[in-house]
Amino acid sequence: MSHSPLIVWLRQDLRLSDNPALSEAVKTGVPIIPVYILDDVHAGEWKMGGASRVWLHHSLSSLNTSLNGKLQVATGPADRVLTDLIALTGAKGVYWNRCYEPWRVTRDTQIKKMLETAGTETKSFNGSLLWEPWDVLKDDGTPYRVFTPFFRKGCLSKAEPRTPIPAPVSISFYSDKDTRATIDSLNLRPRKPAWDQDMTPWDIGETAAQKRLHAFLETGLKNYKEGRNIPAGHNVSRLSPHIHFGEISPHQSWHAAKQFGIAHGLEKDLDHFLSELGWREFSHSLLYNFPTLPRKNFQPRFDSFPWQDNAEYLTHWQQGQTGYPIVDAGMRELYQTGYMHNRVRMIVGSFLVKNLLLHWHHGEDWFWDTLYDADLANNSASWQWIAGSGADAAPYFRIFNPVTQGEKFDPEGTYVRQYVPELASLPMKYLHQPWEAPPLVLSAAGITLGKNYPHPLVDHSKARDIALKAFEQTKNPT
């Protein structure tokens, strides 16, 4: 048996369990070299943002502990790093789990051709999606453009997602004589955010992801279908960053949820949770089949939309200073914690593109830099959805009223009071529209509009009318 090592190239699969590339490499019986490469060169404009890098630092540290300190890390073009590592170690092959972002597909295809031409074995596996995007197509062989038939007819008509693979019992590592770079040398932790707030660290890593999943199933799956809309509630999984970085696989989430949901008679809530995993699949299918999704309107009619250019509006939105409490709470939650509740993501997104008439690219870019779970497929598909320009998009005329959204989904004001503490003493009647409060009420609550909390940036009713008139210009694009 050859003792030349195998390289396991880790990417969005920072775990030991249900890791097909790692498991197959271990089965060969030869020593392995687990490596993570921070390749900002090929990533270009889609290199990870600040929040994602913070998460990655902690996730790699956790994984390195699980690998007995044997994780190798490097920076630079992945083709060069792999070539150098093969030359240094005599590795006979490279195994990896597939990624589906356009820049990664292009790079990985080139690397596979380069390695195989040089006589190095390559094997790739599916460790990140429940179904391959090229397997879920319409009867005519074209990709789905609407979510419900994609999931109900396309995905659910296929074979059940495979059962998760156990973590290897033992791993034989290649001895590298301690020449490896350190995780700290990747410089993933950014300068302190401008708001004098540190992004609150979560419990990060494979073990933490498993605990999070099972805690959600125990306390959050029941009433998930409705409760997931309440930002101050507990019916959210908060699994998205764990899934994005591959600390837990969608297969593990799918099968654990099915087992728990069926055993506890929670079929309706289970179905909705599984459909959320299905939306992730849909987003990746769109990105794979339509690689211009992150920058180009999926519906060309929006190419003629008269977006505004207002840097002041954008700054107020980014900093949670719009004068609309539910919007400001969401934007502050994002900046302070690297996360935002999904319902609130829709509210702040609608406000940006339909109340302020700012291009969805601005929201996409801000989320890319500030979300722990920033995922190119989910981010671009979701921003196009809220803008009305995407696949299966919300109709443009569906313009969220931030006051009624706040009253409906934060009826006790718990969420707003947490993230907009200057409004904490305001009576519930005025919490979601403080400008309607009488002067004596504002004074009693310690609020001076325009000083310690802003006046509304725009009038929602007037902004809605302007937005609908702007939308009319897309109906007959030149």
Q: Please count the other Cβ atoms lying within 10 Å of the Cβ belonging to residue 88.
A: 11
CB 412 within 8 A of CB 232: yes
Nearest to 51 by CA among 383, 247, 333: 333
Cα–Cα distances in Å, from 55 out to 89, 202, 245, 361? Answer: 30, 8, 9, 23
- Distance CA(162)–CA(164), nearest Å, equals 6
The active-site residue out of 276, 310, 407, 422 is 276
Catalytic residue among 132, 279, 310, 407: 279
Catalytic residue among 360, 366, 368, 385: 360
202 included as an active-site residue: no
Q: Is 223 annotated in the active site?
A: no
Which bin fits 375, alpha (ψ -120 to 50), beta or left (φ > 0)? beta
Catalytic residue among 307, 401, 422, 435: 307
Residue 453: strand pairing partners: 449
> Known catalytic residue: 206?
no
292-330 CB burial, b ≥16 within 10 A, e <16: ebbeebbbebbeebebeeeeebbebbbebbbbbbbbbbb
Query: Reduced to 3 states, what is the DSSP secondary structure of residue 7?
Result: strand
The answer to whether 342 is a known catalytic residue is: yes
H or E segment to which residue 315 belongs: helix 311-318
Helix H or strand E segment including 93: strand 93-97
Q: How far apart are CA 384 and CA 283, in angstroms?
A: 11
Residue 246 near residue 127 (C-beta atoms within 8 A) = yes
What per-residue string of b and e applies to 346-361 under the rule 16 or more CB within 10 Å gives b? bbbbbbbbbbbbbbbe
List, in order, residues 6 or more apart from 53 with CB less than 8 Å away.
188, 189, 190
Backbone φ, ψ for residue 170 (5° rounding): -150, 150
The verdict on whether 360 is a catalytic residue reads yes
Catalytic residue status for 383: yes
In the set 9, 55, 131, 383, the catalytic residue is 383
Spatial distance between the Cα atoms of 426 and 415, rounded to a whole number of angstroms = 14
Residue tagged active-site, from 223, 289, 310, 342: 342
Instruction: Compute the half-sphere exposure of residue 179: CA atoms within 13 Å on the CB side of its CA.
Output: 8
Please identify every residue annotated as catalytic.
Answer: 276, 279, 307, 342, 360, 383
